[in-house]
């Protein structure tokens, strides 16, 4: 993949933070191999819209740009996105504030344990 010769490959990506930007940056041209853009996708229009969207605060405008970027990837890239994560949790009833999330994994900091 680093030599940009692969025709078919599988990758996994887990979001580092709960924002679409975390996934859309995987298709940002300047992030091409050896960066996180293993697809080596480089569309000048996508790059321009991504640069605009990534600095906007959460808003309808940013959401619209994210939707446009998503649609460009769907139209241009031969990629299959999926979410097939399964996790099993076992905990004691004394454990409080147990609220796992599929995207964000630092929820452990909110855990508390009632003393015996």
Alpha carbon distance 19, 17 (integer Å): 6
Rounded to 5 degrees, φ, ψ at 96 are -115, 160
**Residues in the chain, pLDDT under 70:** 1-14, 79-86, 101-107
Peptide bond into 23 cis (omega under 30): no
The reported pLDDT for the residue numbered 104 is 60
Q: What tokens appear for 63 in the block?
A: 């959401």
Q: Is residue 113 part of a domain?
A: no
Q: Is residue 107 part of a domain?
A: no
State pTM to two decimals: 0.65
The reported pLDDT for the residue numbered 98 is 81
CATH code assigned at 31: 3.10.105.10
Q: How do residues 62-82 score in pLDDT, each as one tens digit?
A: 999 999 999 999 899 876 666
Structural domain of residue 37, as residue ranges? Answer: 1-85
Q: Is residue 90 part of a domain?
A: no
Alpha carbon distance 92, 59 (integer Å): 40
Alpha carbon distance 47, 41 (integer Å): 10
């Amino acid at each position: 993949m680093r030599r940009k010769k692969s025709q078919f490959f599988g990758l996994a990506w887990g979001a580092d933070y709960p924002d679409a930007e975390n996934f859309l940056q995987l298709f940002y041209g300047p992030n091409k191999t050896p960066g996180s853009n293993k697809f080596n996708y480089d569309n000048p229009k996508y790059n321009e819209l991504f640069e605009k969207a990534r600095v906007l605060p959460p808003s309808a405008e940013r959401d619209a740009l994210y939707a446009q970027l998503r649609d460009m990837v769907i139209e241009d890239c031969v990629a299959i996105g999926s979410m097939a994560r399964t996790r099993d949790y076992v905990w004691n009833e004394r454990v409080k504030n147990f609220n796992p999330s599929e995207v964000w994994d630092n929820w452990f900091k909110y855990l508390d344990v009632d003393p015996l």
